[in-house]
Amino acid sequence: MLRTVRDVGAAVRRARREAGLSQQALADRAGVSRQWLSRVEAGKGPSAEIGKVLDVLAALGLAVDLVTTPVTEAADDDPFAGLFEGGS
């Protein structure tokens, strides 16, 4: 289950490595910079634009399922807390 920006970044990194792609190769495929992808993989959001995140996921053949979850106090620390669910 992906609950935070860090979770999304870790899932992207894991899927990239499983696909045998370098950060540069994935960045080229997704149309983003390697530096941007590095920040996403490190969980340095919420500055990561969701459209670019979706482009990266699509380039890896991944999708995001949105589910309704209760809002928790963690949302104060992470604006994406509870928004993502999925696996890799």
Domains of the chain, start order: 5-76 (1.10.260.40)
Average pLDDT of the chain is 79
pLDDT band at 82 (very low <50, low <70, confident <90, very high): low
Contact 36, 46 (CB under 8 A): no
Q: Are 39 and 8 in contact (CB under 8 A)?
A: no
Binning pLDDT at 50, 70 and 90, where does residue 49 land? confident
pLDDT at residue 75 greater than cutoff 70: no
Phi-psi region of 61 (alpha: psi -120 to 50; beta: other; left: phi over 0): left
Q: Whole-structure pTM over 0.85, yes or no?
A: no
What tens digit of pLDDT does each residue of 8-32 get? Answer: 889 999 999 999 999 999 999 999 9
